[in-house]
């Protein structure tokens, strides 16, 4: 059912090349709405790239605190919706009888765009969700050299990005750098939810001893999602936000930013990153590993 890409005619202009503008096809990453229903009641609409929609819904429900583990879900299935032809842009989830229903008042109705994972929440309190997993004592240790290799491994697995140039990626790795699963999506928070939903359905939570790499920046919502899945280390190829760093510190999570080439910044819990078999410490401001 996945419609990850589409071809579209465009006019191509290259000011550095001779000749007139020319017409030709281009490949675009798909973006379509997905409605997540719980017990047939609408809960959320997110703009996503179709594919792994069950994982997306399961990951979303876990990271929003609606469910605690896969056993809380009786069924999760794609539904035809009302579109003609059917686009299967609805996932209907049935929770166990003992699972409290999600709050559906206006402060907790979700509409998320491809760029925002917390849009539509009416208050600061609605944004914060407490994880059931304590990751502060996670014994994960990762050599800085292993971390430095991960962006290239992530990029090599981004097959849809190769054709569209328009998708974010999230990859779940082991401590020795093995890529377990990668997901791509127009929404970076969706890519993370797809990874976490996969891990949830595979019975892998909490993700003790694992690390998550995202292709863009490390935002508050991505840090929170990682914490909800019990992930002790979040790395990003770009910058973290202040709230991301604050939340990572509160959780005892290692937050790595600007993971590019042979350099990286370790913002919190740097003891999990080793250099030449030695743990690093954090000065008053930040720690930079090269």
Catalytic residues: 116
Return the closest-CA partner of residue 223 out of 232, 213, 234.
Answer: 234
- Identify which of 94, 83, 87 has the alpha carbon closest to the alpha carbon of residue 50: 87
Burial pattern 25-34, b for ≥16 Cβ within 10 A else e, equals eeebbbbbeb
Q: Do 112 and 119 form a contact (C-beta atoms < 8 A)?
A: yes
Residue whose C-alpha is closest to residue 37's, from 92, 98, 112 = 92
Output the six-digit token pair for 238. Answer: 């770009």
Cα 286 to chain centroid distance, Å, stands at 25
Cβ distance 47 to 31 under 8 Å? Answer: yes
Inter-residue contact 286 to 155 (CB < 8 Å): no
Strand, helix or coil for residue 179: strand
CA 214 to chain CA mean position, Å: 7
Helix (H), strand (E) at residue 166: none
Torsion of CA 115, 120, 126, 131, to 10 degrees: -40
Q: Are strands 90-95 and 32-38 parallel, antiparallel or unpaired?
A: parallel
Distance (Å, whole) CA 144 – CA 175 = 11
Q: In angstroms, rounded to a whole number, what is the distance separating the alpha carbons of residues 45 and 243?
A: 25
């Amino acid at each position: 059912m996945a419609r990850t890409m589409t071809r579209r005619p465009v006019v191509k202009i290259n000011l550095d090349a001779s000749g007139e503008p020319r017409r030709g096809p281009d490949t675009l990453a798909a973006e379509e709405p997905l409605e997540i229903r719980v017990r047939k009641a609408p809960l959320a609409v997110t703009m996503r790239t179709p594919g792994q929609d069950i994982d997306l819904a399961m990951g979303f429900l876990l990271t929003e605190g609606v469910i605690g583990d896969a056993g809380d879900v009786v069924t999760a299935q794609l539904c035809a919706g009302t579109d003609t032809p059917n686009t299967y842009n609805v996932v209907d989830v049935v929770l166990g009888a003992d699972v409290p229903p999600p709050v559906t008042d206006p402060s907790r109705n979700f509409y998320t765009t491809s760029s925002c994972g917390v849009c539509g929440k009416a208050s600061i309190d609605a944004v914060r969700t407490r994880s059931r997993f304590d990751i502060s004592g996670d014994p994960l240790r990762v050599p800085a050299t292993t971390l430095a290799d991960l962006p290239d491994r992530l990029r090599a697995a981004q097959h849809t990005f190769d054709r569209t140039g328009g998708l974010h990626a999230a990859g779940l790795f082991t401590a020795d750098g093995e890529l377990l699963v990668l997901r791509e999506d127009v929404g970076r928070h969706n890519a993370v939810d797809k990874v976490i939903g996969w891990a949830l359905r595979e019975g892998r939570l909490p993700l003790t001893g694992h690390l998550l790499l995202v292709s863009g920046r490390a935002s508050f919502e991505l840090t929170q999602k990682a914490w909800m899945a019990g992930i002790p280390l979040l790395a990003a190829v770009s910058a973290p936000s202040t709230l991301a760093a604050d939340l990572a510190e509160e959780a005892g999570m290692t937050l790595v930013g600007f993971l590019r080439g042979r350099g990286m910044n370790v913002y919190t819990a740097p003891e999990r990153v080793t250099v030449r078999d030695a743990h690093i410490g954090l000065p008053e401001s930040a720690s930079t590993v090269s």
